[in-house]
Amino acid sequence: MGTDVPLRVPRHCVDPHAVWLWVGEGALSTALLAAVVAAARLLTPADAPGWLRTLLDLAPWLAIPLGVVLVAVEPLWRYRVHRWEVTQDAVYTLEGWLVRTWHIVPIARIQTVDTTRGPVQQLLGLATVTVRTASHAGSTDVQHLDAAIADTVAHDLALRANAVRDEVT
């Protein structure tokens, strides 16, 4: 009998193009995994112990479903889970797929707001907004927003953080 964290889910989804980015990341991981398995199979000498050969025979059968999960299941799952919202008081984010992480960052505690765009993000027109406070655990980022929206959000947050800043950190 499971219980979800009874917090209202933040309102906004991330940009749909993020799915392609996650697909790409999943494909890359799968390719790496396949390369490792293939290399292991090629380089193992014929006189290796039996259990090692069994393991290497099984490896592709494990790697393929894993690859499918990383490429097809994880991106869609993440798209359903990742959320963000900025209210009058705080920035809320929800991310993850197997492990879900909520962040609540009060606007009064924000110290810096960064917008970053990696190469793949630039191709897809995405950006990540990173919000930092005095605490590493209390800092969060909103990944893979549409670039224009990200700029607006970052600008807005920076202005409001300045206006509302507490004296006490």
Partner 1 sequence: MPARVLAEAETRRLDPRVIGTRLVTLSALRNQIGLLVSLLALLGLRGGVRVVGLVGVLVAIGAVSAGRAAVEWLTSSYAIDQDRLVVRRGALRRSLTVVPLDRIRGVDVHATALQRLLGIAVVRVDAAATGGNRDEAVLDAVSRQEAQRLRRVLLREVAAGPVPVPTPTAAVAGQPAQGAVLARLRPGWLVYAPLVGSYLLAPVAAFLAAQQLVDELHIPLPAGVTRLLDGRLDGVQPDPLLVAAAVAAVTAVCVLGAVATAAVANWGFTLTRRGPALVSERGLLSRRQVSLERARIRGYALVEPLPLRAVGAARLLALVTGLGGENSRRAQLLPLGPAGVAREVAAVAVLPFTTPLRRHPTAARQRRLARAVLPWLLLAVPLALLHLWPAVAAAGTLAVLGVPLGLDRYRGLGHALDPAAVSVRSGSLRRRQVVLERRGVVGWRIRQSLFQRRAGLATLTVATGAGAGGYDIVDLAAPAAVALIAEVTPQHVPAQHVPAQTSPGDGDQAAIG
Residues lying near partner 1 in the complex (CB under 8 A) are found at 1-8, 10, 51, 85, 87, 89-90, 92, 98-106, 109, 133-140, 167-169
Alpha-carbon gap, residue 122 to 140, rounded angstroms: 21
The type of residue at 89 is: D
Task: Provide, rounded to whole angstroms, the least separation between the CB of residue 85 and partner 1.
Answer: 7
Long-range contacts of 1-9 (CB under 8 A, 24+ apart): 5/100, 5/102, 7/102, 9/83, 9/94
Task: Provide, rounded to whole angstroms, the least separation between the CB of residue 127 and partner 1.
Answer: 22
Task: Provide, rounded to whole angstroms, the least separation between the CB of residue 94 and partner 1.
Answer: 9
Nearer to partner 1, 93 or 128 (CB): 93
Nearer to partner 1, 33 or 90 (CB): 90
Alpha-carbon gap, residue 78 to 84, rounded angstroms: 13
Nearer to partner 1, 111 or 122 (CB): 111
For residue 83, give the nearest of 137, 131, 144, 5 by alpha carbon: 144
Task: Provide, rounded to whole angstroms, the least separation between the CB of residue 6 and partner 1.
Answer: 5
The structure tokens listed for 64 are: 């393929």
